[in-house]
Amino acid sequence: MLFFENLAIYNFNLTTEEEATILSQFIDADHDLLFPYFECNFRAFPEDRAYIEERTIIRSKEKVFEMNYSFIENELVYWYKPHDRDDLIHIINRDRITYRSIVVPKNGGLNDCRFKLFTYEHAIYNEEETRVLWIEEAIENDYIENICPKIISQTNE
């Protein structure tokens, strides 16, 4: 059972299909869900290049998430989006445990980020360790008023 509290969904131990259903609620006619891919990863995974580049919407060195890893300083990031639900499931499977993503307006930039999403596997909820989806919003109550009701509706079906 999922637990919704403020800007978090606890007990986020779902199948990739269920996660895709939830993440899909952040996408609409005006917004895309983008995932980061660091250019340095192409050295270790050259087979990823065509897949990532085909889906890339933005290339940037702009820091979007607060991350304290020296290897990513000034690193080019490919912000890519899934083509469809099956592609979203594939992307979730790539980084199954912990991933980050953002929601931006179509044809918008990283500065226009509506939501930042981050999964984490060692969150504490009611004194128990669990996985969580944390949500950061640009406009106060945007998630609670516009996205959360859609997620609850989907998870109750």
pLDDT per residue over 101-128, tens digit each? 999 999 899 999 999 999 999 999 999 9
Sign for the CA dihedral angle at 140, 145, 146, 147 comes to: positive
Distances 66 to 2, 61, 82, 104, 106 between C-alpha atoms, Å: 26, 13, 24, 18, 23
| Structural domain count, the chain | 1
Per DSSP, 25 falls in state: T
- What count of other Cβ atoms lies within 10 Å of the Cβ of residue 111? 10
Measure the CA–CA gap between 156 and 35, rounded to whole angstroms: 27
Q: What is the pLDDT of residue 36?
A: 93
Residues 116 and 100: beta-carbon distance below 8 Å: yes
156 vs 94, which has greater pLDDT? Answer: 94
Q: Is the pTM of this model over 0.85?
A: yes
Domain containing residue 136: 3-155
The CA-CA-CA angle for residues 115, 116, 119, to 5°, reads 130
> Residue 75 pLDDT more than 90?
no
Tokens, residue 70: 């020296």
